[in-house]
Amino acid sequence: MTLRELIARFPDRFYAQTWYGGEAFLDREPRPWLGWPDWVDPFLPEAHPAYTAADLAGLWLEDPTRRLWICYLWTSDLDAQGQRIYVGQNGRGFEIHRHLHLSERWGCPV
């Protein structure tokens, strides 16, 4: 079952968002051979995390009570713009976000 299918099947377990609707990473399946991470090591999003958003969503559905979920976790997924995907929970469901890279497109109106 893909991440897209997990969200459709368990909508009450995911924090409702729409930005990722057309993203390719939603069509990945959690890898069944992955176990629980031993710990969360703080690192920059430019590092190469081992888990996909689908992997972590599958683990979340398996056990949302683990201490692991107090953190937001970088994934190996990128959106269509090349921005790193991270996941976590806010007490209202599993969240999927993207890390917005600052570029010349950003500005402050004055």
pLDDT tens digits along 42-62? 776 666 678 999 999 999 999
pLDDT at residue 60, rounded to an integer: 93
pLDDT at residue 46, rounded to an integer: 64
pLDDT at residue 101, rounded to an integer: 75
Q: Is 93 part of a structural domain of the chain?
A: yes
Mean pLDDT of the chain: 88
Q: Is 104 part of a structural domain of the chain?
A: no
> In angstroms, rounded to a whole number, what is the distance separating the alpha carbons of residues 13 and 86?
17
Stretches in the chain below the pLDDT threshold 50: none
Number of domains the chain contains: 1
Angle, vertex CA 11, rays to CA 49 and CA 39, nearest 5: 25
Q: Is 103 part of a structural domain of the chain?
A: no
pTM of the predicted protein model: 0.85
Q: Is 50 part of a structural domain of the chain?
A: yes
Print the domain residue range for 22.
3-34+42-98
Q: Is 60 part of a structural domain of the chain?
A: yes
> In angstroms, rounded to a whole number, what is the distance separating the alpha carbons of residues 9 and 33?
22
